[in-house]
Structure 1
Amino acid sequence: MNRLYLVTDSDVARKAGHTLPFVVEEACRAGVRWVQLREKDLSTRAFLEMGAEIKPITQAYGAKLIINDRVDVALALDADGVHVGQDDMPYPMVRALLGQDKIIGLSINNLDELQAIHSDELDYLGIATIFPTGTKQDTSSLLGLEGLRQICAQTSLPTFAIGGINAQNIQQVMQTGITGAAVVSAICGHPSPYEASRELLMSERVKE
């Protein structure tokens, strides 16, 4: 399993002078094989249009296209899966709608949320928030590396850490028992998304 996961943010990309399809293409060209389309401020139509631009790129590189929150958008695009949060549609219902061949990820923020999982309907967990980050405003319960380590030790599901991860700290993150690392600004906001992705991929492989 490729261990680097790109989560998109078109505002961050725009401020760096990039379009989102460009960022995704450059990341996939560098070796990223997980892309989550997370665009909370787009209308349904704009979200679908963006997804329709992104999907051929991910398909061309054999990357997984995961849609954040929006099961309807994932169904319309025939995306590879959906990532939901604690306040989104319950994941058993997501599974009933998507079917057994799609990927479902769930965000968890602490051990209590991990222990509340009583289902085999999930394919992976997104664990947040590890470090302070500008793309997630509510960081009142930062896990840090030790909190991340504790959660990883108590689940057999694949796990992706997110929150302030970059080329300088990704090696520390990968030493906690995590499956992989998800990044936003470290790729979307970098002057060269390709070079940023390559650097992150090389950094996280040091442990292997």
Structure 2
Amino acid sequence: MIETGRTLKSALAAAANVALVDYIGAGPVFATPSRLDHKARVGGDGPAAQVAASVVPAVAIGGLKADHVARAFSAGSQGVAVVSAICGQPDLEAAACTLRNRIDTLGA
């Protein structure tokens, strides 16, 4: 099932209309508590196929935390979209700073 989802999502990424779409969300990578009706997850390596197929930049999305940033960027994502990595944490500022530092460390 996940493999079929990856194939379909890659096809959708390739079909993005550059006149209408600035970027795509590659994922969902993992299950996320911020959206209970998300599609089947693609797993840590899943965004790479979507990013490769996309004609526009891509950001990894879905259950990502600061520890996932390096893997998302190594898959070709130009960014990460997060909610619970910040909003679901007891110290929002510290969580945002940790995420930003991980991104800066990669030179992204």
2:29 to 123, 126, 130: 130
- Which residue matches 1:148? 47
Preserved CA contact (<8 Å) 2:24 2:59: yes
Task: Give 3-state SS (helix, strand or coil) of 1:194's partner.
Answer: helix
Cα distance, 1:140 vs. partner? Answer: 5.1
Preserved CA contact (<8 Å) 2:57 2:78: yes
Which amino acid letter does the alignment assign opposite residue 127 of structure 1?
A: A
- CA distance in 1 between partners of 2:68 and 2:44 (Å): 10
- CA distance in 1 between partners of 2:84 and 2:60 (Å): 14
Cα distance, 1:206 vs. partner? Answer: 2.3
Cα distance, 1:119 vs. partner? Answer: 4.4
TM-score using structure 2 length: 0.79
- Which residue matches 1:161? 60
More strand, by proportion: 1
Which amino acid letter does the alignment assign opposite residue 26 of structure 2?
A: I
- Which residue matches 2:78? 179
Q: Between Structure 1 and Structure 2, how many residues are aligned? A: 100
Cα distance, 1:165 vs. partner? Answer: 0.6
TM-score using structure 1 length: 0.44
Give the alignment's Cα RMSD to 1 decimal.
1.9
- Greater gyration radius: 1
Cα distance, 1:128 vs. partner? Answer: 2.4
Residue by residue over 1:128-177, the C-alpha shift from the partner in whole angstroms, topping out at 9 and shown as x without a partner, is 20012112223552112322001111224121111111122222112110
What stretches of structure 1 move > 4 A for 4+ residues in a row? none
Unaligned runs of 5+ residues in structure 1 are 1-108
Unaligned runs of 5+ residues in structure 2 are 1-7
- CA distance in 2 between partners of 1:190 and 1:158 (Å): 28
